[in-house]
A and B are shown apart, each in its own frame.
Chain A
Amino acid sequence: MSGEIAQAFAQAKARGEGVLVTYAMAGDPDLPRSVDVFAALVEGGADVLEIGVAFSDPIADGPVIQGAAERALKAGSTLKRVLDEVVPAVRKRCPQTPLVIMTYVNLIMAMGEARYAKLARERGVSGTILPDLPPEESASLRATFDAEGLDLIPLCAPTTPPARAQAIAKEGRGFVYCVSVSGVTGMRAELPPDLSQRLDLVRKAATVPVVAGFGISTAEQARMLSAHADGVVVGSVLVHAAHTEGPEAAKALCADIKRGLRR
């Protein structure tokens, strides 16, 4: 597995912090300016960057990220252009931060699994999250990624039965992404009451760090969850802030959430 992700988690742990994984959409509002957003997130305290690549039919996303995807597609974002233009630029400005691509499986298939894995690794990507690729469908892609040293980061859901969750956790690469709510991406006022229990279960079985994501938008939520996970993923609230107020606003939000992750 890629060393960068493990290192980022280890460093945060050594500092006594939970890891902040942040999501933003490459190409929103356009390719160069989305680089500014990613850089701002890191300045605000993000430890790992999830770089969203827009797909025309994002079934796992709520309205905020759907909107960002539509803007990115209008701005000409493609997987190839994100790898060629956004990833290297972000890498240059944030050389210490592991980069993870988050997109849908069709884009990877269209590029070709092997071609994607090679290109992604060459450009400095550490891992990939595909929310529409459950374990049953991922064997060939994972083998390709493993050979290239690119992590296929698995997801676990609130509906995943315990034994299946443990199997997913045991076989995880990079980190395990525990989806906190039954639903699509987007801010939530309340998280399910049994979330901490589920995180404990997955964490016990996992061979890699465990993060909670979907619905998280406040320092208070981050503080609560970081007792049960190695970190949290924050997306929609940052995408919304960057879109409506610009990178500085997203940076300030990051800093605030990061305070919630100090132990």
Chain B
Amino acid sequence: MTTETAAGRFGRYGGRYVPETLVPALQELEEAYAAASADPAFREEVARVLREYVGRPTTLTPARRLTEAWGGANVWLKREDLAHTGAHKINNTVGQVLLARRMGKKRIIAETGAGQHGVATATACALFGLPCEVYMGALDVERQALNVFRMRALGAVVRPVESGSRTLKDAMNEAMRTWVSQVSDTHYVIGSAAGPHPYPTVVRDFQAVIGRELRTQAQAAFGGLPDAIIACVGGGSNAIGVLHPFIGDASVRLVGVEAGGHGLDTKQHGASLTLGTEGVLHGSRSLVLQDEDGQIQEAHSISAGLDYPGVGPELAHLAKTGRMEVRIATDDEALAAFYEVARLEGILPALETSHAFARGRELARELGAGKHLVINCSGRGDKDVATISARGVPPPVGVKA
């Protein structure tokens, strides 16, 4: 099943809106990727690294106490937080860095928001011996100190970006500018299913390993397909990765949860599928948060990984055609969900992931008992402990205050 209506187009969205300097490189990447993905040896190499190094398949965990607490469908967790480096991002960076090596590229650049993609890129570069430079908004450098350290420890150069809102979108601008200058020997590893064609397709394919595993695991665990799958949406890579293999299964409800930030009426959110309008950002046509003059608005989320005013074109298409339901979780709801999951399941989810959990309860109840709901556990919350603990920790369970 594909939603690609033409090469690099998902309905009205997608395309390749970049400086002419980059067009030949994107064509080269498109061709190299087509050849690699048709090559069984390349596919096996990616699969082998995912198996031996990343720890795939990640488990499908029954969330028994959440199921009980929510009083609806059986809740299952697809555990990308158990992948090496702690998030789904590694699925894509292993694939892209192997592709870059196959293309003979000498160095890697990347952008990062929460730092998870930067860490995953630095990790793949360390594994395969390529120099790595990561662009990161200066504000994110401050709020994600742990991941900055991890990237540096892995041998990557972290370049703080001071322009604009000093967050993910500006890091992506800077990475693209750098790529324009070094395109002959450099591969740009985009971290989400966004950017110019062929990136949305490449990233989706590498992330679709999540959904393919889930199909097999669901069969084994409860003898069928899930009734609904829910994932958080920033740029959209974990969501499209888990959802894509189910697009053709009409019985499976696909749900994406966007960052509601301080609330949709505050202008401080990251809800580009819900409130975005058609525009061009970072090389593709999609839904973006912008003002009526076409200036891109700054997004806000408590989670740096959802703090992005755009979204991948395929998700925009799925949302507009109604195949994917779009919901919102605010900062406060995500925080509450973080503690609920921590205390009921012994898992500290990433703040991004906590947005998906925040909408889990109502979805489980809508589905009802006997149905199966899968939550994509996109990453673990270690990177977020400073942000979360700064707000104070609720009293321990079972202890009188």
Binding site for B on A (CB under 8 A): 55-62, 66, 70, 73, 78-80, 104-111, 131-134, 136-137, 155-161, 164, 168, 179, 182-184
B143-157: CB near A (< 8 Å → 1, else 0) gives 000000000000000
- Is A59 touching B282 in the complex (CB atoms < 8 A)? yes
Task: Collect the chain B residues with CB atoms within 8 Å of residue A70's CB.
Answer: 163
Q: Which of B260-299 contact A (CB under 8 A)?
A: 278-283, 288, 290, 292-296
- Is A57 touching B173 in the complex (CB atoms < 8 A)? yes
- Is B163 touching A59 in the complex (CB atoms < 8 A)? no
- Is A136 touching B21 in the complex (CB atoms < 8 A)? no
A-B residue pairs, 8 tightest by C-beta: A110-B294, A157-B21, A183-B181, A78-B293, A157-B20, A107-B294, A56-B295, A106-B280
Least CB separation from B19: chain A residue:
A60
B219 at the interface (CB under 8 A from A): no
Task: Collect the chain A residues with CB atoms within 8 Å of residue B17's CB.
Answer: 105, 132-134, 137
- Is A57 touching B164 in the complex (CB atoms < 8 A)? yes
B241 at the interface (CB under 8 A from A): no
B348-390: CB near A (< 8 Å → 1, else 0) gives 0000000000000000000000000000000000000000000
Task: Tell me the bound Cα distance from A110 to B184 in angstroms.
Answer: 33
Q: List 28 A-B contacts (CB under 8 A).
A: A55-B294, A56-B164, A57-B164, A57-B170, A57-B282, A57-B296, A59-B18, A59-B177, A59-B283, A66-B163, A73-B295, A78-B293, A106-B294, A106-B296, A108-B294, A110-B294, A132-B19, A132-B283, A134-B18, A134-B20, A137-B17, A157-B23, A158-B21, A159-B23, A159-B24, A179-B19, A182-B184, A183-B180
- Is B295 touching A109 in the complex (CB atoms < 8 A)? no
B315 at the interface (CB under 8 A from A): no
Task: Tell me the bound Cα distance from A62 to B177 in angstroms.
Answer: 8
Beyond A59-B283, A111-B293, A159-B21, list 17 extra A-B contacts (CB 8 Å).
Answer: A59-B177, A59-B180, A61-B177, A62-B177, A106-B296, A107-B295, A110-B292, A131-B20, A132-B280, A157-B23, A159-B22, A159-B184, A179-B20, A182-B181, A182-B183, A183-B181, A184-B177
Of B19, B281, B293, B296, the residue contacting A157 (CB under 8 A) is B19
Q: Which of B1-60 contact A (CB under 8 A)?
A: 15-25
B88 at the interface (CB under 8 A from A): no
- Is B21 touching A79 in the complex (CB atoms < 8 A)? no
B176 at the interface (CB under 8 A from A): yes
B53-81: CB near A (< 8 Å → 1, else 0) gives 00000000000000000000000000000
B285-318: CB near A (< 8 Å → 1, else 0) gives 0001010111110000000000000000000000
Which among A57, A79, A158, A182 has the greatest number of chain B C-beta atoms within 10 A? A57
Least CB separation from A107: chain B residue:
B294
- Is A184 touching B180 in the complex (CB atoms < 8 A)? yes
Task: Collect the chain B residues with CB atoms within 8 Å of residue A158's CB.
Answer: 21
Chain B facing A: main interface SS: mixed
**Could you tell me the distance in whole angstroms from the C-beta of A32 to the nearest C-beta in chain B?**
19
Of B164, B177, B293, the residue contacting A107 (CB under 8 A) is B293
**Could you tell me the distance in whole angstroms from the C-beta of A157 to the nearest C-beta in chain B?**
4
B169 at the interface (CB under 8 A from A): yes
Task: Tell me the bound Cα distance from A56 to B18 in angstroms.
Answer: 15
**Could you tell me the distance in whole angstroms from the C-beta of A212 to the nearest C-beta in chain B?**
14
- Is B180 touching A110 in the complex (CB atoms < 8 A)? no
Task: Tell me the bound Cα distance from A30 to B117 in angstroms.
Answer: 39
Task: Collect the chain A residues with CB atoms within 8 Å of residue B296's CB.
Answer: 56-57, 106
- Is A110 touching B23 in the complex (CB atoms < 8 A)? no
Task: Tell me the bound Cα distance from A164 to B24 in angstroms.
Answer: 10
Task: Collect the chain B residues with CB atoms within 8 Å of residue A111's CB.
Answer: 293-294
Task: Tell me the bound Cα distance from A80 to B296 in angstroms.
Answer: 16
**Could you tell me the distance in whole angstroms from the C-beta of A130 to the nearest C-beta in chain B?**
9
Of A60, A79, A155, the residue contacting B293 (CB under 8 A) is A79
- Is A156 touching B18 in the complex (CB atoms < 8 A)? no
- Is B280 touching A109 in the complex (CB atoms < 8 A)? yes
Least CB separation from A214: chain B residue:
B21
Least CB separation from B26: chain A residue:
A134
Q: Which of B204-253 contact A (CB under 8 A)?
A: none
Least CB separation from A155: chain B residue:
B20
Known: A56-B164, A110-B292. A160 touches B173 (CB 8 A): no
**Could you tell me the distance in whole angstroms from the C-beta of B38 to the nearest C-beta in chain A?**
23
Task: Collect the chain B residues with CB atoms within 8 Å of residue A62's CB.
Answer: 177
Task: Collect the chain B residues with CB atoms within 8 Å of residue A132's CB.
Answer: 17-19, 280, 283
Of B170, B181, B282, the residue contacting A184 (CB under 8 A) is B181
- Is B19 touching A131 in the complex (CB atoms < 8 A)? yes
- Is B180 touching A57 in the complex (CB atoms < 8 A)? no
- Is B278 touching A109 in the complex (CB atoms < 8 A)? yes
Task: Tell me the bound Cα distance from A134 to B17 in angstroms.
Answer: 7
- Is A55 touching B16 in the complex (CB atoms < 8 A)? no
**Could you tell me the distance in whole angstroms from the C-beta of B1 to the nearest C-beta in chain A?**
26
Least CB separation from A58: chain B residue:
B173
